[in-house]
Amino acid sequence: MIRLILSIVTLLLCLLPAATPGTPPEVAVVVQADEVFSPQAWQAMEAESKRIARQAGLRIRFVERSQAAAEEFTDLVVFRMKGRCEMDTLPALLDERGPFAWAFTADGNVLPFGEVKCDRVRESIKTALRPADYRKADELFGRALGRVVAHELYHMIANTKKHGKSGVAKDALSAQQLISDKLDFSNHERVALEGKRDFGR
C-alpha cells in the first residue's frame, strides 16, 4: 500500500511547475470522493480550509480528482474522502468512533496523501447539532470537514506527526469544536507552517 501511495505521489510531484518567486504557493487539494458529496458541504469545506490556511500565508484550492490531470499545480496533496459526505436526519450512531482522518507516513516522513472518514465526522457533529441547525446541516458538515482537512494539512506541510496544544491542530477535536463559529491554528502552528511554504518544491 505504501509503495502504491509513494508511486502516485512521485508521479504527481514530477508534473509540478516551479512557484513564482515572491508569491505564496497554491496548494492543490486533490479530492477523490468514494460516494456522494453534498455540493453545499464541498463549498463550506473549501471555504473553511482556505480561511484557516490563509493564517499561515498558504493558498489552497480544492480540485476533484477527475479534473486534476488537466491542470498544473505548484504543490499538491491528495485526500480520499471515504463514506457518504452529506448530512441526514437519522439519529447519531453511537459506535462511530475513531480518528476522523489521517495522513500516511513512510520512512519517518508525512506524505501528502491522506484519508477522511466522512461518516465518522457526520455522526460526531450530530451530537452537537440543535434542531434549528439542521436547516444548514450540510454547511456545518462542510465546515467540520474543512477543519479536519486543515488538521491533516498541518501534518503534511509541516512534516510532523506531533499535534498542537490548542486550535485546529490539537490531537482531538470535539463535535462542538468542529462546528463552532471559529477555530484557528495556534501561533505555534502558524509559525511551523510559515517555515514550510515551499514543501513541495
Is residue 20 pLDDT above 60, yes or no? no
pLDDT for 26-67, tens place per residue?
Answer: 899 999 999 999 999 999 999 999 999 998 888 899 998 888
| C-alpha to C-alpha distance for 194 and 29, rounded to whole angstroms | 18
| Domain range annotation of the chain | 2-14+25-194
CATH class of this structure's domain 2-14+25-194: alpha beta
- Residue 54 near residue 64, CB atoms below 8 Å: no
Check residue 189 and give its pLDDT. 86
Check residue 5 and give its pLDDT. 47
Q: What are the two backbone dihedrals, phi and then psi, of residue 153, each rounded to the nearest 5 degrees?
A: -60, -35
Q: What's CA 131's distance to the chain center, in Å?
A: 27
Q: Which of 48, 73, 62 is nearest to 139 (CA)?
A: 48
| C-alpha to C-alpha distance for 29 and 74, rounded to whole angstroms | 11
User: 95-128: b or e for each residue (b if 16 or more CB lie within 10 Å)?
Assistant: ebeeebbebbbeeeebbbbbbbbbebbbbbbbeb
- Tell me the percentage of the chain whose pLDDT exceeds 90: 62
